[in-house]
Structure 1
């Protein structure tokens, strides 16, 4: 009886051992594939970027084929390979049993087991190491141990006067990196059409060397940085509740405990509208906007419902910039007419799409350079320039502020263009243009600010008087001096530590819906 129990236990142990080994193989392969796909499409990213985009993925108008490739590569292929290995070993052992070839010299068995163990370890360690390096796990762990907390420097925006408030148009340029102005590196200045429509001699201003904040680099990080004044941190940054604690769950709120641009504008009577070509539910953009003062968000489903022809869409993301900006002209016409009638201003925000890689060349775009990416960027800027010209012709620039800027630097993953030109470039910055009615364009904006300081800058461009010219971690670029005690007054290395910090106390409140400014 005892022998029978021992035999069953031994067999069970063998089965469990095989299951664990195959599980490790599957996990190692999945991590390897994940690292390869991330590097191909995005390059090196951060843990926060990965998790904040995984939470609300969209196969339709939110990456399209990339989503399906990721599912296939990270889940299906490793599973099939693992099952294939298991079946091959099973039938191989079965054949040897049938042929009476189960017994081997101990030395041969030891060598085979050692080789098998080494191969399994190589897959697991290789996959784990590649994935950890790709998503910046080391940086994430260092940030978790930072002595800084965003809450110690966060400034709640306080408007002291809105007498001079004006309409606002805010345009985010997908991957709008100013480095692409270099016609020697990229064949042409991709921003030339937009620069012609926003000349300094006409009164347009710009922040020289606008920087992407440390740890940013994707659309939602750019939007929240410039509209809330804080780095975007999500899953794993909180110690309590919050919208992002349930991976893959239905996101109900987004940084509800933080006062962002739309909140401030709505409180002062603005109508906030957002237009985007992609599906706004990707990365929960719609939840963020709807929860922060935007009364209307128009995206991919709206353009389909409006009867846009199929040729106006790209299958992976959404509506072309030509058609998006055509809708934007109609929208700004309606909003401006309503503002004149009611006396209440509007904020029209939008995000372009054509320059998102892999680029799609529409029939309105002529490829006149060696790279299709260069052409797509230039054609997108031509559409934005056309919108600016429309506003000028309609007289809207007389009472409407305009802020145009890239949402982040161009990503340079393994499948992206311009890796050689951008990887070692020593001054990668974000393209921007600012129009303030009545300004002569000769006033100096503080140079080398980062995206976090664009939040108070936008508020001031809209004509709102901001206490201390501070909001979030930022200080307005219109401020000639940085207040002592501000995050912007920190030494560069200390500021980098602050921005990188996971700041669990602050983000627990921010995501949990509590007032993040309250100590």
Structure 2
């Protein structure tokens, strides 16, 4: 058997080919990031890769890799062309001739080739170019730079809700708060401020138009702008319930789901759950997934002592069978049915209640289409959103028919912008349309003339929700949020735009790290 000689030429050739394969892999990864995640931050992307794009399973990372491998090898083959030398050209000529069965008459294929030294320079150059493009696509330079900067955002703007003066009405109102997974106004009709020719979510659109809905537009539907470190579910919940972001870099190199391992979840934050608990509210949170995912259970139990009815709870109590599993746990159809039952139970008490829900069917990628949902559109994501809109409206109509509705405020809000960027890019069609997070307040205790032309984030939902319950807030600020009913400037408006505020949110903050994220430690 002939031994392979590991000559200098062999090593240069081998390393060059490996570098070209890595270059192809990095270039396709950059392409995948742009198509699927576009402007999403690296924190969010790591979270969805590690924890799974759906169902909380990490195998979605490998699924993404496998789906893109054909493109990697196609690009790799293309990049290899300049690596052909004379022996390679001869071999290829014989292979082509054999395939055409015209060995004697086959014309020779003349391929361009580089000298060995130039091959090494070429492969290294392609690898470096690919690495730079990949790093740039993930925004890593800006991310690292931001971590070297510090901000006084919290010292200058954060209002500690624990010490703020809050005055509740004599008769306390019930609250029903619905977090809608990835719900944004892009899906509403162009005629009313969305970006769709025909509204995908007509019922939600109507609810926003006929009730109090805060908008970044002069008319029609609009909503909250995406703030840094609020772009995934548990971070969106922290923003809306406590007026603070969830800074991933402080988890110590671990993924978002590692927050569930911490003994204390944002111990320095003070949420609406804690405020209402102190006021004697009964509180329940219903979700069709596992509450422990991402530390949501700790957020809810440590900040309001919620009774959590999640996927595991409903299996334990016989609402669903032990082997039942759909999407993240169980579908939204069941979620709303269980919410009706829980609302009726809570309303039977002589105490006010805070019932909160989290939907999941509209989670990317491609979402979950219930068999009972209509297939009006050709796109599955359209059909799921349309079905979600109908389900929410049906639930709201049911609440309105109940005796407790007169003294109940319903708040509906997207938890964050949708993550399936290719879907939204198609809706926007290359325009400069500003994607915003959906919101509406139904049956609030107060009215306002300041609902339009507002620049705000989901931080502002915190004090605004309390105001909708008739609570008077001294200074109209809680956490990083402003009471939108008051008309006072939000942090976005104070800082002159969402880009400026996000720049500050990306920076290190000793106040946030020592007084909100860790406080007395973990």
Q: TM-score, normalised by structure 2?
A: 0.75
SS of structure 2 residue aligned to 1:186: coil
Matched residue, 1:212: 225
Match of 2:277 among 266, 273, 277: 266
Matched residue, 1:115: 119
Higher relative CO (Cα under 8 Å, sequence separation at least 6) belongs to 1
Shift of 1:171: 0.6
Shift of 1:494: 8.1
String of CA shifts for 1:378-431, please: whole Å, max 9, x gaps: 1111111111111111122212211101122233434x3553526533332222
Shift of 1:509: 1.7
Match of 1:425 among 425, 432, 436: 432
Matched, 1:134 2:137: yes
Match of 1:280 among 266, 291, 312: 291
Equivalent pair of 1:303/1:319 in contact (CA under 8 Å): no
Match of 2:158 among 144, 154, 159: 154
Equivalent pair of 1:168/1:348 in contact (CA under 8 Å): yes
Distance 1:334 1:388, change over 3 A: same
Matched residue, 2:105: none
Matched residue, 2:414: 406
String of CA shifts for 1:127-147, please: whole Å, max 9, x gaps: x33432332223324433545
Cα distance in 1 between the residues matched to 2:392 and 2:247? 31
Shift of 1:294: 4.0
Equivalent pair of 1:170/1:402 in contact (CA under 8 Å): yes
SS of structure 1 residue aligned to 2:519: coil
Equivalent pair of 1:58/1:281 in contact (CA under 8 Å): no
Cα distance in 2 between the residues matched to 1:119 and 1:27? 10
Structure 1: gaps (5+ residues): 1-10, 83-91, 93-108
Equivalent pair of 1:452/1:472 in contact (CA under 8 Å): yes
Matched residue, 2:183: 176
Match of 2:379 among 368, 371, 380: 371
Cα distance in 2 between the residues matched to 1:255 and 1:21? 48
Cα distance in 2 between the residues matched to 1:365 and 1:249? 31
User: What is the alpha-carbon root mean square deviation over aligned residues?
Assistant: 4.2
Distance 1:377 1:294, change over 3 A: farther
Aligned length: 466
Distance 1:37 1:464, change over 3 A: same
Q: How does 1:222-241 map to 2 (within 5 A)?
A: 222-235=236-249, 238=250
Cα distance in 2 between the residues matched to 1:247 and 1:302? 25
Cα distance in 2 between the residues matched to 1:277 and 1:421? 31
Equivalent pair of 1:45/1:134 in contact (CA under 8 Å): no
Matched residue, 2:404: 396
Equivalent pair of 1:146/1:497 in contact (CA under 8 Å): no
Match of 2:235 among 218, 221, 230: 221
Equivalent pair of 1:52/1:234 in contact (CA under 8 Å): no
Matched, 1:318 2:321: no
Equivalent pair of 2:273/2:306 in contact (CA under 8 Å): no
String of CA shifts for 1:341-372, please: whole Å, max 9, x gaps: xx2x2221112222223133222111113333
String of CA shifts for 1:31-63, please: whole Å, max 9, x gaps: 5565455445433311332345567x2588225
Cα distance in 2 between the residues matched to 1:313 and 1:183? 37
Match of 2:38 among 24, 32, 43: 43
Shift of 1:225: 1.8
Cα distance in 2 between the residues matched to 1:381 and 1:311? 29
Match of 2:203 among 187, 193, 217: 193
SS of structure 1 residue aligned to 2:348: helix
Cα distance in 2 between the residues matched to 1:509 and 1:24? 44
Matched residue, 2:98: none
Equivalent pair of 2:257/2:293 in contact (CA under 8 Å): no
Mean Cα displacement is larger for which, 131-140 or 357-366?
131-140
Cα distance in 2 between the residues matched to 1:110 and 1:68? 36
Cα distance in 2 between the residues matched to 1:149 and 1:72? 45
Matched residue, 2:442: 435
Q: How does 1:69-80 map to 2 (within 5 A)?
A: 69-70=63-64
Structure 2: gaps (5+ residues): 1-5, 77-86, 88-112, 217-222
String of CA shifts for 1:483-518, please: whole Å, max 9, x gaps: 9xx6753333784255433233133225652179xx
Mean Cα displacement is larger for which, 418-427 or 448-457?
418-427
Distance 1:226 1:515, change over 3 A: farther
SS of structure 2 residue aligned to 1:404: strand
Distance 1:135 1:267, change over 3 A: farther
Cα distance in 1 between the residues matched to 2:152 and 2:514? 12
Matched, 1:308 2:317: no
Equivalent pair of 2:286/2:335 in contact (CA under 8 Å): yes
Matched residue, 1:3: none
Cα distance in 2 between the residues matched to 1:260 and 1:151? 16
Shift of 1:320: 1.8
Cα distance in 2 between the residues matched to 1:110 and 1:266? 73
Shift of 1:262: 2.1
Matched residue, 2:147: 144
Cα distance in 2 between the residues matched to 1:40 and 1:279? 29
